[in-house]
Amino acid sequence: MIQYFLKNYPLRIYIPFLKQTITFFAILLVMVSCSKDNDISHKFTGKWEYERYIGYPFTDTALPPGNGQTITLTNNGIFESRKQDTVLFVGKYTIKQRKDCYKRDNTWLLSTDDPYFKEVYINIENNKLTLSQPNCYADGGIIYYRRLK
């Protein structure tokens, strides 16, 4: 087949086509290999119910299931906070990686317009959503939520 191709098509026509093909596949390979999945928000989407807060003033404020204090993170970047049927806040959120003041395992930062959840580090530990203050704040704490949906 190669002999037929070289015999019937002059090499001067074949080489530019070959260069274009190789260039196309090289660019495609670079685009696919360099793209990162920076949209990690799908991992955290859902409806979450408050379970407990551990931090200053060093009291463990656990609430039972069905307490009605929830946050919802949607795929389209909407953040909602509720207490029972009362909407406390609705706004946008983003999740991006950011280093903290001191080393931490998790570097995903949740940012919202809600002053209560302005900037907190977000993670999932043992099937619980955790929101923790940056570790450069004194007396920071961790809020644990259980998944509802």
The band of 54, judged by pLDDT with boundaries at 50, 70 and 90, is confident
Residues 114 and 49 both lie in one domain: yes
Which residue range(s) make up the domain with 7?
Answer: 2-34
Residues 48 and 81 both lie in one domain: yes
- The confidence score (pLDDT) of residue 80 equals 95
Residues 30 and 46 both lie in one domain: no
Residues 62 and 130 both lie in one domain: yes
pLDDT over 70 (residue 88):
yes
Residues 125 and 85 both lie in one domain: yes
pLDDT over 70 (residue 3):
no
Residues 47 and 107 both lie in one domain: yes
pLDDT over 90 (residue 93):
yes
pLDDT over 80 (residue 23):
no
Number of structural domains (the chain) is 2
Residues 29 and 47 both lie in one domain: no
Residues 54 and 121 both lie in one domain: yes
Q: What number of other Cβ atoms are within 10 A of residue 33's Cβ? A: 7
pLDDT over 90 (residue 148):
yes
Residues 80 and 107 both lie in one domain: yes
Burial 55-87 (b: 16+ CB within 10 A, else e): beeeeeeeeeeeeebbbbbeeeeebbbbeeeee
The band of 16, judged by pLDDT with boundaries at 50, 70 and 90, is low
Look at 108 and 134; give whichever has higher pLDDT: 108
pLDDT over 50 (residue 40):
yes
Residues 79 and 142 both lie in one domain: yes
Residues 49 and 109 both lie in one domain: yes
